[in-house]
Chain A
Amino acid sequence: SQQGEEDPQALSIQEGENATMNCSYKTSINNLQWYRQNSGRGLVHLILIRSNEREKHSGRLRVTLDTSKKSSSLLITASRAADTASYFCATDVTGNQFYFGTGTSLTVIP
């Protein structure tokens, strides 16, 4: 079964609003990564958070990790139309081998 599951499956917001998506996983992890996939393209790495970290920032992205709840969240602030994509969390359980979640489809309306 898949290690990670994103929630919600789909999210639609207005440009300028913040978007929050969540990821839950099942077993202990080394780290968790978030990826973005534009339609018809491969996945692009956004940010990595290690199991001993609780929060990380990169530009307009903010990621949190709660290992006790086995969950992570990705916040995109001041969203733009170009942020429209699917977002996936990927959990590293065994080292250098990742299990991807089901993805959240984000639509940012201009």
Chain B
Amino acid sequence: DAGVIQSPRHEVTEMGQEVTLRCKPISGHNSLFWYRQTMMRGLELLIYFNNNVPIDDSGMPEDRFSAKMPNASFSTLKIQPSEPRDSAVYFCASSSGTSGRESSYEQYFGPGTRLTVT
């Protein structure tokens, strides 16, 4: 398996522009997570999906951020409009766990997308 695939790997955009980050989870995994990593705030969970359904989006910073998972093999994280404070590395991760207290599985991370908003 190729692992979790993210694109683009690097994105530089100007403030106010729309940014779309893409993720392809590992085949067969039914949970997908979006994280943001910065020096100041560390690794933050933004949103996670189980079986393509958003379960918890409480980590999404504000309405400028939105995420979708139209099918089991693809997810997007969109920022519109982007701001300089959105500059960070965005990670997508997937796991084979299910929601509920009984199952907890390791997460497989993608290589990340380094976003720079100028």
* A residues lining the B interface (CB < 8 Å): 2, 30-31, 33, 41-45, 48, 88, 90, 92, 94-103
Chain A residues positioned under 8 Å from B95 (CB to CB) = 96
B contact residues, range: 20 to 34
Chain B residues positioned under 8 Å from A90 (CB to CB) = 107
* Whole-angstrom distance between the Cβ of B92 and the nearest chain A Cβ: 9
Chain A residues positioned under 8 Å from B42 (CB to CB) = 2, 100-103
Of B13-21, B65-73, B74-82, B97-105, the segment with at least 4 beta carbons within 8 Å of chain A is B97-105
Known: A41-B111, A42-B109, A45-B107. A96 touches B45 (CB 8 A): no
A42–B45 touching, CB < 8 Å: no
B56–A97 touching, CB < 8 Å: yes
Set B31, B45, B104: member contacting A99, Cβ < 8 A: B45
Set B48, B106, B110: member contacting A97, Cβ < 8 A: B48
Interfacial residues of chain B within 85-103, with CB under 8 A of chain A in the complex: 91, 93, 95, 97-103
Set A41, A96, A99, A101: member contacting B50, Cβ < 8 A: A96
* Whole-angstrom distance between the Cβ of B56 and the nearest chain A Cβ: 6
Instruction: Report how far A100 CA is from B103 CA in the complex, Å.
Output: 18
6 closest residue pairs by CB, A with B: A42-B109, A45-B106, A96-B97, A100-B43, A95-B101, A43-B109
**Which residue of A42, A92, A96 has the most chain B CB atoms within 10 A of its CB atom?**
A96
Instruction: Report how far A100 CA is from B109 CA in the complex, Å.
Output: 13
Q: Which residue of chain A lies nearest to B41 when distances are taken between CB atoms in the complex?
A: A2
Instruction: Report how far A99 CA is from B33 CA in the complex, Å.
Output: 12
Instruction: Report how far A41 CA is from B98 CA in the complex, Å.
Output: 26
Instruction: Report how far A106 CA is from B32 CA in the complex, Å.
Output: 28
Chain A residues positioned under 8 Å from B100 (CB to CB) = 95-96
